[in-house]
Structure 1
């Protein structure tokens, strides 16, 4: 099924943010993937020095949504020696608040997944149908909902300005941004839960979603976008500064239009995305997970990808190295970096050999 818009429909939609000239993403014209990796390290180091001068957001808060199973062969690509075919990941939302120079307050929700509807993503829907209910109850734990967390934080839905995901895999946005027509599966014509919010997305992901490639189809829900108006989105091209200490960095590879959140906090700079599922995947030499350190040495690779899709593997590798270059070391354990996976590896008795050596569990500031 095609999406309700063509690639031409998203060209003229207004964008947002101030372009980050330091991060220009090398192209094939600059050389091969090895050359592009070197250039990204140089760009990342330069922006790492610039970014703190932009300030800090007022606050960053972590909200746990759901813990669910995920294939080990995807999450710890080729590196894990664990016997467990599945590991557990916890999806978390970040709530970022800042104040514009003119005094305007802003609220950004990063990874506000509607996990009740996300379960109908083709891959996870097929997995659910093959998994006995008893096993599902042992492996899936719901922690809270997007609207429930916002209520506990005292944030009204109409105060939310922006919704953002590292990419739109599994995302069903209908209840968040509304639709132009009645939805048979929901039994309603949903009004937007966030009437003033726009979805920040890379323009080339929107264009790519207009006609999915077979590699992409298991991870998107095209039918759910049939009545979502294109103007619900704020497309961006590349890396942009959104506010003081809040930036979007384009990190292609996991999907063509992948993007990462970068925030400057009281403990230094953090990045968040789903490019990897554990902080130790950025420094596998310090991992105690079976196989990771030896695999990294044997293959001379410095990161372990999250590879449920391999749209452009070398680009994803390079993007993770860029993230490494931009962020600080953890104050809790300096062997690991302040990378906060949007879906973080979580220990579970059902998945022996997959307990993380180190986990952030939350990102808190302000």
Structure 2
């Protein structure tokens, strides 16, 4: 395949390692022992992170609403008759000031959804869906560059791009390529010339040799000609700035990571490990089936499981997220967990309208 990122040992990294969140592969015992360790570590990290300060500003930008199989998004729990639900993908823009006065800008989930649609799963789904139905279910809201313009941020001011994982992502227009791209009919220059992509080293290694369970969700060939030096591989959890952290949460993919931010309303966590805040608190959900399924199966969360790479690890990672996040000030039954792709009600999808939504994270210091 020619994927260039199989050896990233010499690339620089970023952030200060979080010592309270250790590698769970070193924990003796099975998944249950790891789950107990996760709860202890999550409480310790939550306490220290709350004292790390806050970023200057956080803005949330809607990108696109699209269909997603109900059996994936609400794994085994939903009794909705709708085969598809809708999720809205959003970008979070975080700005902070370093101790030396340097300003930083991080974009979390800056998906190029125009190219993301060519991910094998979504490309196949689109080919099978009549245009009139697709046009009702797929609703673009804005572009990454358009939102940044509205926020007064120039592309050359962006320091970091970060995704919870690289499913569906095509980064060529963001970080450039080393050669002409025939499918784009251009040799794209980097829209973000100074930005580095923060990614878990595990995911880069996994993308170099995808398992069949992973292949429908990645576009590995689009990484063939991207510059390796545009990446900042990290191993585990790191503090990126005051009140900003990348926390390793493996399971949904081997190198999954979550954004954690400390704000005026407390600590928020964001990833795609679940698609609704109520998936962390299914006992309060009015979605058909969720509360009963949680009781019957004695599971306290509902996975987003389009890939089942390491399901027990994903469950444990969600418990870590659940332990870290503060309660919502809008409704204390739920947590300040913000799905990077959030369940969105639609008349076309009966039985999938969420009980509770966040819609955005907003913060100004």
User: Is TM (by shorter chain) over 0.5?
Assistant: yes
Q: Secondary structure at the match of 1:11?
A: coil
Q: In structure 2, how many angstroms separate the alpha carbons of the residues matched to 1:274 and 1:114? A: 17
Task: State which drifts further: 45-54 or 160-169.
Answer: 45-54
Runs (4+) of structure 1 moved beyond 2 Å?
A: none
1:226-272: CA deviation from partner (whole Å, max 9, x where unpaired): 11121110000000000000000000000000000000000000000
> Are the aligned partners of 2:81 and 2:351 in contact in 1 as well (CA < 8 Å)?
yes
Q: 1:344 aligns with which of 342, 345, 350?
A: 342
Question: TM-score, with normalisation over the residues of structure 1?
Answer: 0.99
In structure 1, the partner of 2:142 is 144
- In the TM superposition, 1:205-284 aligns within 5 A as 205-284=203-282
Q: Are 2:186 and 1:188 aligned?
A: yes
> Are the aligned partners of 1:67 and 1:88 in contact in 2 as well (CA < 8 Å)?
yes
> Are the aligned partners of 1:328 and 1:338 in contact in 2 as well (CA < 8 Å)?
yes
1:135-156: CA deviation from partner (whole Å, max 9, x where unpaired): 0011011100000000000000
Q: In structure 1, how many angstroms separate the alpha carbons of the residues matched to 2:358 and 2:20? A: 29
Q: 1:176 aligns with which of 169, 174, 177?
A: 174
Q: Number of paired residues? A: 364
Q: Secondary structure at the match of 1:63?
A: strand
Q: Which runs of 5+ in 2 are unaligned?
A: none
In structure 2, the partner of 1:313 is 311
Report how far residue 29 of structure 1 moved: 4.5
Question: TM-score, with normalisation over the residues of structure 2?
Answer: 0.99
Q: Structure 1 255/89 Cα, relative in aligned 2: closer, same or farther at 3 Å?
A: same
1:13-58: CA deviation from partner (whole Å, max 9, x where unpaired): 1110000000013226421000000001000001111111110000
Report how far residue 6 of structure 1 moved: 5.4
In structure 2, the partner of 1:51 is 49
In structure 1, the partner of 2:4 is 5
Q: In structure 1, how many angstroms separate the alpha carbons of the residues matched to 2:262 and 2:26? A: 31
Q: Secondary structure at the match of 1:150?
A: helix
1:91-148: CA deviation from partner (whole Å, max 9, x where unpaired): 0000000000000000000000000000000000000000000000110111000000
> Are the aligned partners of 1:114 and 1:145 in contact in 2 as well (CA < 8 Å)?
yes
> Are the aligned partners of 1:3 and 1:211 in contact in 2 as well (CA < 8 Å)?
no
In structure 2, the partner of 1:167 is 165
Q: In structure 2, how many angstroms separate the alpha carbons of the residues matched to 1:103 and 1:6? A: 33
Root mean square deviation, CA, Å: 0.8
Q: Are 2:147 and 1:128 aligned?
A: no
Q: 2:330 aligns with which of 296, 314, 332?
A: 332
Q: In structure 2, how many angstroms separate the alpha carbons of the residues matched to 1:37 and 1:264? A: 24
Report how far residue 3 of structure 1 moved: 4.7
Q: Structure 1 247/235 Cα, relative in aligned 2: closer, same or farther at 3 Å?
A: same
